């Protein structure tokens, strides 16, 4: 077998392994609310949280009025986003998986309606060290879309 064919085969096997082994994986065990908070971000730069106090911090989503219409508005925004899947939805908590287009990497995004008028948010890559700013960009996109008034919910972001 020529060196060129061997190298080409190695590239394909590596790509296949990366695509199947690293793409989804199991959800982390620390998802959800513990002691009234979302899980802290790990030390790697692939996570942002409104509850962080360092460079991983993002602002929470804010709303006026009741939480019910804000929750409906957030679900409306999430349902309009590509490759988003709501995994868990309870009264004050949402867990959404976002899957990347090419390799199918999964990011876990959590929302916690607490305190009133605020939605705490955490967005973290399930695998890898760096996310090249994808999670921060996603949260800012969510914030911008959430802020656009919806006729269906009557929610106003603030």
Read off the CATH number of the domain in which 86 is found.
3.30.310.80
- pLDDT (mean) for 126-130: 91
Of these ranges, 19-23, 66-70, 126-130, the one predicted with the greatest mean pLDDT is 66-70
Angstrom distance (rounded) from CA 14 to CA 152: 47
Decide if 1 is inside a domain.
Answer: no
On the question of pLDDT at 17 being above 80, the answer is no
- Domain interval for residue 39: 25-157
**149: phi then psi, degrees, rounded to nearest 5:** -60, 145
Angstrom distance (rounded) from CA 17 to CA 15: 5
pLDDT score recorded for residue 88: 96
Question: Residue 33 — left, alpha, or beta (φ > 0 → left; ψ -120 to 50 → alpha)?
Answer: beta
Contact 37, 50 (CB under 8 A): no
Q: Mean pLDDT for the chain?
A: 86
**To the nearest whole percent, how much of the chain has pLDDT over 90?**
69
pLDDT score recorded for residue 149: 81
Decide if 11 is inside a domain.
Answer: no
For residue 29, what pLDDT band results from cuts at 50, 70 and 90?
confident
Decide if 97 is inside a domain.
Answer: yes
> Into how many domains does the chain fold?
1
On the question of pLDDT at 53 being above 90, the answer is yes
Look-up of token digits 């804000």 = 70
Contact 96, 87 (CB under 8 A): yes
């Amino acid at each position: 077998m020529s060196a060129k064919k061997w190298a080409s085969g190695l590239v394909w096997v590596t790509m296949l392994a990366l695509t199947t082994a690293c793409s989804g994986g199991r959800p982390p065990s620390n998802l959800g609310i513990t002691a009234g908070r979302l899980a802290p971000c790990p030390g790697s730069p692939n996570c942002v949280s409104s509850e962080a106090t360092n460079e991983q911090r993002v602002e929470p989503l804010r709303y006026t009025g009741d939480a019910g219409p804000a929750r409906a508005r957030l679900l409306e925004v999430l349902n309009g986003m590509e490759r988003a899947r709501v995994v868990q939805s309870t009264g004050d908590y949402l867990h959404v998986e976002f899957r990347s287009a090419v390799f199918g990497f999964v990011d876990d995004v959590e929302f916690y309606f607490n305190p009133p008028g605020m939605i705490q948010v955490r967005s973290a890559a399930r695998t890898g060290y760096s996310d090249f700013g994808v999670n921060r960009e996603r949260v800012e996109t969510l914030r911008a879309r959430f802020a656009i008034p919806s006729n269906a919910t009557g929610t106003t972001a603030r």
